[in-house]
Structure 1
Amino acid sequence: MWATFSVLGAIALGITIGMWIKKRFNRFMLGCAVVAGFSVAYPIAQFGGPLLSQLDQVASWVAVNMVLASVFAVIVFFDFKEKGIKKWNIFVGFLAPVLFLLAAGPFLVPLDLLGGLGEGVDDALASMGGR
């Protein structure tokens, strides 16, 4: 599944870079940047989440990431409403999904641990002949 997202993200990133070179700043380019951001958001959150959870002030880092992601999302929303876009908002569109998942990163780590725990319980029950 993540391979599909990676391929779509690579295509979207290629289209974004090509349109940047041709200086065609439009909504389609901003949409491609957001799709490319979504494709790299989960791997970045997987690496950044455990790093953030090891810090002393996890709540403040999550709050900062969430505020930045919310501001970036509002900028992207209003930029989609305009006919032409500002060229630096392409980076904002790319970073918005990354920051949202980075804010959720410390919470994704316990969810992954709980998912592994559920599989371990299922395996233990299956080995006892309960199913």
Structure 2
Amino acid sequence: MWGAFSVLGAIALGVLIGLWMKKKFNRVMLGAAVIAGFSVAYPIAEFGGPLLATLDQVAPWVAVNLVLASIASVLLWFDFQEKGIKKFNVIVGFLAPTFFLLAAGPFLVAWDLVGGLGTGVESALSQMGR
């Protein structure tokens, strides 16, 4: 799934670069930035999530990332409603998905551990029935 999504993100990044070179700052460019941001957000969060989980104080980092993601979402919401967009919001649109995944990163690590536990219990129960 992530392979197909990275191909979609590469196409969106190509559209984003093409529109940037033509200086066509519109909603399509902002949408392409968000899609390209989603394609790079998972690898960044996959690296940053376990790193944040090893810290002693995880809650402040999660809170900071969640506040940044919320601010980015509000900026993008109001920018999508206008005809023209602000140039810096393209970068905000690219980074917003990463902020959301970094805010959820430590929880995703715990979810992965619980998911592995569920698979282990399921295989143990299937062995008991034989």
Give the shorter-chain TM-score range: over 0.9
Please state how far the C-alpha of 1:56 moved relative to its aligned partner. Answer: 1.9
Deviation readout 1:21-57 (Å, 9 max, x if unpaired) = 1111100000010011112212211111010111122
The corresponding residue for 1:43 is: 43
Q: How many residues align?
A: 130
Unaligned runs of 5+ in 1: none
The corresponding residue for 1:70 is: 70
The corresponding residue for 1:110 is: 110
Unaligned runs of 5+ in 2: none
Instruction: State percent identity of aligned pairs.
Output: 72
What is the root-mean-square deviation in Å for CA atoms of aligned residues? Answer: 1.0
Query: What code does the residue aligned with 1:39 have?
Result: S
TM-score by length of 1: 0.95
Please state how far the C-alpha of 1:129 moved relative to its aligned partner. Answer: 2.3
TM-score by length of 2: 0.96
Query: What code does the residue aligned with 1:128 have?
Result: M
Please state how far the C-alpha of 1:79 moved relative to its aligned partner. Answer: 0.6
Give, in whole Å, the separation in 2 of the partners of 1:126 and 1:50: 31
Please state how far the C-alpha of 1:4 moved relative to its aligned partner. Answer: 1.0
Give, in whole Å, the separation in 2 of the partners of 1:59 and 1:110: 14
Runs of 4+ aligned structure 1 residues displaced above 4 Å come to none
